[in-house]
Amino acid sequence: MIEISGIKAILTDIEGTTSSISFVHDVLFPYARAHLRDYVRENELAVGGILNEVRALENNPNLSTEDIIGIFISWIDTDRKITPLKSLQGMIWKAGYETGAFKGHIYDDAADALQNWFDKGLKIYIYSSGSVTAQKLIYGYSERGDITPLLSGYFDTTTGPKLEANSYSKIVNSMGFPPVQILFLSDHTGEIDAAHAAGYQAILIDREAQQPKDTRYNVVTDFSSIRLREKVA
Both 109 and 215 in a single domain?
yes
Both 15 and 28 in a single domain?
no
Separation in Å, CA 100 to CA 16, 21, 39:
23, 20, 17
Both 80 and 116 in a single domain?
no
b or e along 81-106 (b: 16 or more beta carbons within 10 Å of the residue's beta carbon)?
eeebbbbbbbbbbbebbeeeebbbbb
Quote the CA–CA distance of 69 and 42 in Å, as a whole number.
12
pLDDT at 103 over 90: yes
The pLDDT score that the predictor gives to residue 232 is: 42
Beta carbons of 202 and 186 less than 8 angstroms apart = yes
The pLDDT score that the predictor gives to residue 51 is: 97
Q: Which of 64, 81, 98 is the last residue of a domain?
A: 98
Both 120 and 225 in a single domain?
yes
Both 87 and 45 in a single domain?
yes
pLDDT at 215 over 60: yes
Quote the CA–CA distance of 186 and 51 in Å, as a whole number.
34
Both 116 and 209 in a single domain?
yes
More confident residue, 13 or 211: 13
Q: Which of 72, 98, 124 is the last residue of a domain?
A: 98
Both 76 and 123 in a single domain?
no
Q: Please tell me the total count of domains within the chain.
A: 2
Both 76 and 156 in a single domain?
no
Beta carbons of 33 and 93 less than 8 angstroms apart = no
- Share the mean pLDDT of the chain: 94
What confidence tens digit (pLDDT) does each residue in 162-210 have? 999 999 999 999 999 999 999 999 999 999 999 999 999 999 999 988 8
Q: Which domain holds residue 149?
A: 2-19+104-229
Both 81 and 160 in a single domain?
no
CATH of the domain at 88: 1.10.720.60
Quote the CA–CA distance of 27 and 157 in Å, as a whole number.
22
Mean pLDDT confidence for 146-168: 96
CATH of the domain at 11: 3.40.50.1000
Q: Which of 75, 98, 121 is the last residue of a domain?
A: 98
Q: Is the pTM of this model over 0.85?
A: yes
Quote the CA–CA distance of 166 and 179 in Å, as a whole number.
12
Both 94 and 110 in a single domain?
no
Both 66 and 112 in a single domain?
no
Both 33 and 93 in a single domain?
yes
pLDDT at 231 over 80: no
pLDDT at 223 over 50: yes
